[in-house]
């Protein structure tokens, strides 16, 4: 009987110890998770000294370059690991030659996807816009809407004109504006994109039109700098002030 009581007491003690051990383990796991979440939080960044600005500046320039190449959706954890390994002279998980090949392939694929999407969006916009009241579409695909009808001269292909204009992408982003600068622009009719050349010769002095220009009549598959991506349809508010 005493032996049975002893065994029961021993088993009860083991269970209590196991429960205590499990409770402590769960507490430790919870603590470690909290520490991990704390480590994931971005640390405050202070840029005060010239060296601070230089260090941060290199990050800005590198990220800007990556973003312009369509590589802004990278795994930031692995990206930072690659930076650390190179700077610390650690063995690389991907060698430089292979890195160049895979990165170039990635940029090419992303660029093609973005160009295809932008081209489809531009075409869809122009198709829908061409069905609206007041929109005229020419044989070339140029679309325009007359907001103010002028009564002056029409320019010819070799004339120079003075205009006010504001240019926007189809999402509304403004990329250029003589109105914002407060200074009208003067140029030759045949010295601008073909959509403008065609539209200007249809306008009369004093006219205000909204032009909807397909990419083929604008900057095409190359775009223009950082402001006008490839395959972009463009919208211009144009006032023909004078034929020179």
Q: Which of 135, 170, 193, 227 is catalytic?
A: 193
Q: How many residues does the chain have?
A: 244
Q: Which of 144, 213, 219, 228 is catalytic?
A: 219
Structure token pair of residue 197: 């050349």
Q: Is 175 an annotated catalytic residue?
A: yes
Q: Is 144 an annotated catalytic residue?
A: no
Q: Which of 175, 187, 227, 237 is catalytic?
A: 175
Question: Minimal CA–CA distance to 193: which of 223, 172, 164?
Answer: 223
Q: Is 176 an annotated catalytic residue?
A: yes
Q: Is 52 an annotated catalytic residue?
A: no
- In sequence order, the 6+-apart residues with CB closer than 8 A to the CB of 86 are 92
Structure token pair of residue 75: 């795994």
* Cα–Cα distance measured from residue 137 to residue 183, given in angstroms and rounded to the nearest whole number: 30
- CA distances 159 to 119, 154, 200, 219, Å, are 33, 9, 10, 22
Q: Which of 144, 165, 228, 235 is catalytic?
A: 165
Q: Is 58 an annotated catalytic residue?
A: no
Q: Is 219 an annotated catalytic residue?
A: yes
Residues annotated as catalytic (active site), given as ranges: 165, 175-176, 193, 219, 236
């Amino acid at each position: 009987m005493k032996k049975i009581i002893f065994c029961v007491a021993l088993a009860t003690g083991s269970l209590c110890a196991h429960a205590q051990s499990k409770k402590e383990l769960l507490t430790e796991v919870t603590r470690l998770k909290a520490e991990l979440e704390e480590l994931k939080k971005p640390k405050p960044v202070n840029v005060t000294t010239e060296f601070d600005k230089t260090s941060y500046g290199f990050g800005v320039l590198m990220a800007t370059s990556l973003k312009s190449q369509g590589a802004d959706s990278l795994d930031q954890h692995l990206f930072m690991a690659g930076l650390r390994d190179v700077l610390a002279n650690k063995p690389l998980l991907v060698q430089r030659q292979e890195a160049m090949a895979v990165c170039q392939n990635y940029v090419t694929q992303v660029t093609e996807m973005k160009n295809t999407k932008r081209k489809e969006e531009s075409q869809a916009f122009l198709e829908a816009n061409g069905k609206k009241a007041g929109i005229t579409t020419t044989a070339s695909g140029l679309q325009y809407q007359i907001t103010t009808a002028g009564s002056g001269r029409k320019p010819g292909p070799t004339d120079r004109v003075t205009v006010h204009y504001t240019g926007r992408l189809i999402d509304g982003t403004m990329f250029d504006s003589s109105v914002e600068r407060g200074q009208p622009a003067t140029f030759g009719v045949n010295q601008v994109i073909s959509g403008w050349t065609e539209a200007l010769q249809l306008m009369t002095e004093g006219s205000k039109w909204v032009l909807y220009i397909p990419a083929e009549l604008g900057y095409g598959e190359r775009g223009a700098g950082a402001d006008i991506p490839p395959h972009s349809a463009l919208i211009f508010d144009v006032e023909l002030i004078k034929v020179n």
